[in-house]
Structure 1
Amino acid sequence: MKKTGVKTPIPSFKTNLTTIKTACNKPSSNDEEQINCLINPSCFFCIMKEPDSSTKKSKITNYIKKLPFLDDYHELILVVSGIWNMAMTNKADENQELPCLGIFECMSFLIHKGIKDGPWIQKNQNIYIPYYAAHIIGSYTINDVDHARKSVDSGVIPPLMELLSGKISWVEQRVAVRALGHLASYDETFQDLLPYEEEIVKLCMHLASTCLEEVFEMFIAVKDKRKRLKYMCDLLTRGNGGFEEENLKAGEWASQIQCWCLHLLCCFAMKKRSLDLICTQEFLKQLSEMWGGLSNNSSPSGVGLIRILCYTKEGRESIAKSRNVLDHLCNLTRSSDNWQYMAIDCLLLLLSDPDTRHKVVEVAAFLIDLVELRSLGGRSNLGERIASSLILDFKQTKTETIKNSKVQKVLEELWNSKVLRRKKEQRLTNEKAEEKRVIVNLIKQQGNQRFCMGDIKDALLNYTKALDLCPLRFRNERLVLFSNRSQCNLLLKDPDSAISDATRALCLSNPPNSHAKSLWRRSQAYDMKGLAKESLMDCIMFITCGFFKSSNGRREHTRIPYYALTMINKQMHSTWLFRKVQSKSTHSDEDEDDNIKNMEKS
């Protein structure tokens, strides 16, 4: 990406009511009419209100043709921004004639002019034009295949490609990748992108990997507001934001750039195209770290593309070789992240492939913590599917394919509990089961007493004994026992076991991931392991489940404890979208200072 050639801030446009009234040559009866004249130069928006349909179309067509050549730069920016506002506020449906009357050709021409004509783009407000033009294309083509087809026929792809390549700045890249993503979403227009396939895929891979660093260095890290490009500030906050508001919006836009790049890559991956480019080990490693932050909670980010790749042979083989991706998937399966089910899907697909199963079974063995999960993400009997995948051909091949003794022990435990123990308990009468429940509760009480006395190890043994005895059908009792044992492991500084037990408890809760104590315990365990994102998600869910309750259809909340707020603040700081980039920048500055000092000494 390149920094725009604009060297000096462009002054904000200040309208002059008297000038506009004179230009329109219309008397205004009140202030509202004056404002209408003010924001609708040359009466363009009066044309839009023309009652006669044929006259209206003729006037709009003629106006759009002359729009790129207007000498009045104030009129140009106001009309383009006005059309953008119409498209963004869903008025596109009310003005279907614009896409059919040349608006796409006009916007394409304006983007091209802004890229090629340096003196023109630096005049008045013209620097805003390419951004608005690309945004208009994207806003008219979202969820409308007919408009998408019309835009492609009007030649929008080449100028959008130039913006995507960074011919102006990251601000224009954001709207270009958005518009191209809409075109790639339709079968009717996807084919038109194929001549640019390699360029698009490479640009999106690079942009997704570097956009955070670019936005940080070119905007966030610029502490002197006078040195920030003013048009960027105006676009981010409409000129009304302070330093913090601009930074927050810049972070949101950087996250959107990354998510929309991934969406474009998903469009190609779903059609099994360019997999050789996407499935490189370097990019897969970066992909597993692409979260997008909380500002884009509707986008699955990196794991969405990873799952699509797992549906292909080439994708599975590449992912099975990446320990970074496998570890990421493992952590995601044992979290309260919205995309937990996607990570589970990925591991199940890898386990179902004979060529990748033996490569991933060591990592995927952690799925044993989820075998009592009933439903998640619209999937029923998910725990049964997980168990079946893990113990697939276990008895026949365990000595050949499972060399890790710990993994073999885990799978043997699963075989004993899901196969042997289940068969045994099917013959257990209700009377015998209730007798066991009484004994289990007694052992649990003993464990609670040991715990209160500070004898954590003995308490852990009691809870383990109770779990071994407790019938699988008593889910609530087993939930409490796993959660209590998780707390013991936490106090014994064994975060891995604490995470495992807390996850098992959360799988037994109804709905899944709703047991507040287990969420808090797993959040602490993840914090001990330095996994800030997983800790943050569990802590947020802990607060939601534990301190926000419904009463008579109304949402009520109690005071959130200080320790939870402290954890939230800590992990929000650690998972800040630009944290890694900032750390890298700080280390670079420190290394540079050290080099200067060494040179001075020598």
Structure 2
Amino acid sequence: MDHFSCCTTNKMARTHVVIGFRPCCFFCVMEEKDPCVRKACLELALRDMHMTRDDTELALTLSFIWRFAMADPENPELPSLGVFECMTRLIKKGLEDVEWVMTGQNVYVPYYAVHIIGSYTMKKPEFAVKAVESGVIAPLLELMRGKMSWVEQRVVVRALGHLASYERTFEAVAAYEDEVVRLAMEIATTCVDVVYEEFVSVQEREGTVRYHSELLTRGLGGLEMEDRKAEEWASQLQCWSLHLLNCFAYKERSISLICNKTFLKDLSQMWGGLVNHTSPAGIGLIRILCYSRKGRGHVSGSREIILSLCNLSQSSDDWQYMGIDCLLLLLKDQETRYKVLETSLFYLLDLVELKALNDRQNLGDRITRVLLMDYNIKKGCVYTPKTQKALKELWRVKVERRKRERKLMSDNQENLTETSVLVSLIKQQANQLLCVGDIEGAIKCYNEAISLCPLKLRRKRMILYSDRGECNLLLGLVDAAISDCTRALCLSEPVNSHGKSLWTRSRAYDIKGLSRESLMDCIMFVNGRCFRGKIPYYATQMISKQMEATWLFEEARASRVLPQMILKEKNHFTGLSTITEEPGKKKDGRMMQRKKPDHPLDFD
């Protein structure tokens, strides 16, 4: 008899459940139509679940409850009947009884129990309060300390992050503030290396923990699928740890601890990757830190973070606006302005013609105001000559030239047409010079055309900047090419949509070794062009190359392989037996699909 019929075919069985006997099967209880019987059965099942002797049935039951919770996380039925108390008892049993947890399928119990807590608390603060009152925090902390493995830590930081995000339950988590923050920082910093070392790099998969493999793919798919899921889960573990830190930074708690110089340096490289693009990862925490005075002081002192923010502000990454926001917050604070101005100025100058980005209107004007906010007062006396010259040019173009052009065009609209024709003629001359190989001559013509082209003619200016950017790249002027293409992309409609500029900048970023930025531009280039189902070879090559370079485990792989290569070469001269170099993990050159989960911080 199957699960769904064994308890429903016999009315006597239902009666026994009501008067106190244990139900035959949890799955059957979930199929019960009588609300009174269903409630009594569920309450009894949850109360006694930790005494279940069949480890396979227990693991299947928890897996079913988790799926039920994920499908409808706001359903109050199980939370009201004691699901949090049940999960707390199961986690404690797994932590205290080593022999029990290592028996059969019981090893899955702590993982699913924590996952159920996290699923029911991700949307409803009322459920979070119930979870805290049920005593979930203490056993969750035990698992966060590494009592079992990184697999359990992944769902623990997710659950604690939900509990810490609500006003009513934050203090319950903050009671362990110092330890929680330190553990979250440690996990965020080391989790990628741990997953690579303990799972991905193991050549014989028999050497990995079996239940990890089964959890990753539900027993379906081969080694390639397992590695993909391991990359996704490692990224989630890192991002959820950062989200937990966000909850404390948002309340300006543990700022000094979080702003450890070593951690800030690592934080600037935590971006989530294509497998976890819905989480802002490191930039999300940096942005929260920039909202507090103390946080800005620490962030402004990290050169790695400032450079990362500058590169992000010019990229076509989904979180570009966050990079810009962070820089503007630092520049508006007089205590940090002059620490970051020299570095950020020339990146932000390329963005002053931005109109809208992620629903932020007139962003270019906002950037201009921040850059020039004390220019008239101090007349550049605190600036270096280079900075003073750049701000003076910004004032001339964005303030004086705009006023002059508005007056000119309002007096005579024919001037706009005449100027547009003149610019087109100069552009044609530049194109002819480019055709005969006179790149420098072409750049001079583009310079003249840009200086004459009215600010109102945004599309024409976009093309001029894009063409000049290509010329600069041909001459090997990589930074100038990036600057011109960025200006062109700011003028495109919508922002970051001009194909030629994206491809030119992607190549320029590749030359500079900025693999992440190059990858994002190339993906935007491919997605925005109509290639009739066939992506050009040059684009697939670029994507494949940058995906190799930005692979989440690339740094961990390199740090493992390099010592082996050095020892191998050393042994070559000493006559000792060589250590076999670990072959690099083969990653296909596919374009990663940007799949969006229902909740920005919730995955399988």
| Length-normalised TM-score, structure 2 | 0.89
Residue type of the partner of 1:375? A
Q: How many residues align?
A: 561
CA displacement 1:239-286 (0-9 Å, x = unmatched): 112000000001000010111111111111111111011112211111
Measure the CA separation in 2 of the matches of 1:26 and 1:303: 53
| C-alpha displacement of 1:565 | 1.1
Alignment partners' CA distance in 2, 1:122 and 1:262: 31
Partner of 1:383: 364
* Unaligned 5+ runs, structure 2: 11-21, 577-604
1:241 paired residue number: 221
**What's the secondary structure of 1:181's corresponding residue?**
helix
Residue 58 (structure 2) pairs with residue 76 (structure 1): yes
Matched residue SS, 2:529: helix
Residue number in structure 1 paired with 2:242 = 262
- Assess if the C-alpha contact under 8 Å between 1:174 and 1:253 holds in 2: yes
**AA matched with 1:451:** L
Task: Specify the alignment match of 2:333 in structure 1.
Answer: 353
- Tell me what 2:396 maps to: 416
The answer for the alignment partner of 1:191 in structure 2 is 171
C-alpha contact (below 8 Å) 1:371/1:383 kept by paired residues: yes
Structure 2 CA distance, aligned partners of 1:276 and 1:177?
21
Letter of the structure 2 residue corresponding to residue 88 of structure 1: M
Separation of aligned partners in 2, 1:558 and 1:55:
56
1:49 maps to what in 2?
Answer: 31
How far the C-alpha of 1:395 sits from its partner, in A, is: 3.8
* 1:410-489 superposed matches below 5 A: 410-428=390-408, 429-489=412-472
Distance 2:35 2:431 in 1: 80
Q: Return the letter of the residue paired with 1:300.
A: P
2:199 to 219, 230, 241: 219
Q: Could you tell me which of 536, 543, 547 is aligned with 1:568?
A: 543
Query: Any idea what the Cα deviations from partners look like across 1:43-72, whole Å, max 9, x if unmatched?
Result: 222223334433332222222222111222
Structure 2 vs 1, CA of residues 338 and 26 (structure 1 numbering), >3 Å: closer, same or farther?
closer
* Matched residue, 2:298: 318
Question: Counterpart of 1:401 in 2: which secondary structure?
Answer: coil
Please state if 1:289 is matched with 2:263.
no
Amino acid at match of 1:494: L
CA distance in 1, matches of 2:416, 2:35: 79
2:526 is equivalent to residue 577 of structure 1: no
Instruction: List per-residue Cα deviations over 1:527-573 (Å, max 9, x = no partner).
Output: 1100000000001111111226xxxxxxxx45322111111111111
For 1:400, the equivalent position in structure 2 comes to: 381
Seq. identity, %: 52
TM-score (norm 1): 0.89
Letter in 2 for 1:570: K
Indicate the larger mover: 419-428 or 260-269.
419-428
Unaligned runs of 5+ in 1: 1-16, 29-39, 549-556
Any idea what SS the aligned residue of 1:309 has?
Answer: helix
Are residues 1:141 and 2:112 paired? Answer: no
Q: Give the AA of the match of 1:43.
A: C
Is residue 118–residue 158 contact of structure 2 (8 Å, CA) maintained in 1?
A: yes
Structure 1 residue aligned with 2:189, among 202, 209, 228? 209
Match of 2:259 among 279, 300, 320: 279
**Whole-Å separation in 1 of the counterparts to 2:290 and 2:275:** 26
Question: Which residue in the other structure is 1:298 paired with?
Answer: 278
Conserved? CA contact 2:7–2:25, under 8 Å? no
Cross-structure match for 2:13:
none
Cα deviation, 1:77-112, whole Å, max 9, x if unaligned, reads 22222222222332x555x33212222111111112
Q: Do the aligned partners of 1:24 and 1:41 also contact (CA within 8 Å) in 2? A: no
Quick one: structure 1 residues 497 and 126, their matched pair in 2 at CA, closer, same or farther if it must change by over 3 Å? same
Shift of 1:229: 1.2
Please tell me whether the aligned partners of residues 391 and 415 of structure 1 are also in contact (alpha carbons under 8 angstroms).
yes
C-alpha change, 1:25 and 1:282, in structure 2 (3 Å) is closer
Q: C-alpha root-mean-square deviation of aligned residues, in Å? A: 2.1
Query: Partner amino acid for 2:374?
Result: D
The amino acid that maps onto 1:505 is A
Matched residues in 2 for 1:235 and 1:506: separation? 43
Deviation per CA, 1:118-159: give whole Å up to 9, x if none: 111111111111101101111111101111111110001111
Distance in 2, Cα, partners of 1:413 & 1:300? 34
Residue 37 of structure 1: aligned partner: none
One-letter identity of the residue aligned with 2:58: L
- Give the conservation status (yes or no) of the 8 Å contact 1:41–1:75: no
CA change 1:559–1:82 in 2 (3 A) is closer
